[in-house]
Structure 1
C-alpha cells in the first residue's frame, strides 16, 4: 500500500478556510476514490496553524488518480490561498494495527 504523510502550515487567519477545504477533499477522496483507503487530518498541539495528514492508497496508481480528481483540483485552488508551507513524504505501509482488528 502507498502511504503519504503531509505536514502543512496554514497562513494566520486562514485556519477555518483550510479546514473546510481539506474536509471536503478528504471526504470526497474516501467516498469517490476506490483506491483511497484512509485520509486523516490531524491538528498539532500548541500551534493552531499546523496540521498533519495521513493518507493511505491501494497503490501509487490510486494516488495518481487522486491527484487527477476534480475534488483535488478544487482543494489545490484553496491551498494556493491558505497553505504557507508543505512537506510531503511518500512511503509504503509496512505494519498496521487497528482497534477494529482486535475487536
Structure 2
C-alpha cells in the first residue's frame, strides 16, 4: 500500500505600487522572499517586477501542500509584510490567483 503524495498548493500574487513607492515595495518583497524560502514547506517563491510596468509586482508561489501554505500564512513575518505593504500599493492587499495543473 503506497501513500498518495501531497498535492502542491500553487498560486500567484499580484499588486501595484503607488507612484513613488516602487523601490520600498521591491525592498519589502526581497526581504520577505528570504524568509519564505526558508520555510520547510516552501517549494518556490519567485518574486518579479513586470518589465513593461515597473510598478507592478508578480510572485509565483508553490508550497508542498495545504498545510505548508497554512503555515506560511501564519508566519509572523508575513503579517508584518502585509501590514507594511498595504499603504504602499493601489489594491487593498495582494491579489491571489490559485492555480491547478492541467490533466494529462
TM bucket by the smaller chain?
0.7 to 0.9
Runs of 4 or more above 4 Å deviation: none
Higher helix residue share = 1
Matched, 1:75 2:86: no
Aligned residues: 94
1:78–1:93 Cα change, 3 Å: farther
Measure, in 2, the Cα distance between the counterparts of 1:89 and 1:57: 14
Instruction: Return the offset for 1:7.
Output: 1.6
Give the alignment partner of residue 52 of structure 2, picking from 46, 49, 52: 46
Q: Would the aligned equivalents of 1:2 and 1:93 in 2 still touch at CA under 8 Å? A: no
Structure number with larger C-alpha Rg: 2
Give the CA RMSD over aligned residues: 1.6
SS of match in other structure, 1:74: helix
SS of match in other structure, 1:84: coil
Q: Would the aligned equivalents of 1:57 and 1:63 in 2 still touch at CA under 8 Å? A: yes
Match of 1:87 in 2: 95
Instruction: Return the offset for 1:83.
Output: 1.8
Measure, in 2, the Cα distance between the counterparts of 1:89 and 1:69: 20
Tell me, which stretches of 5 or more residues in structure 2 are unaligned?
1-7
Higher strand residue share = 1
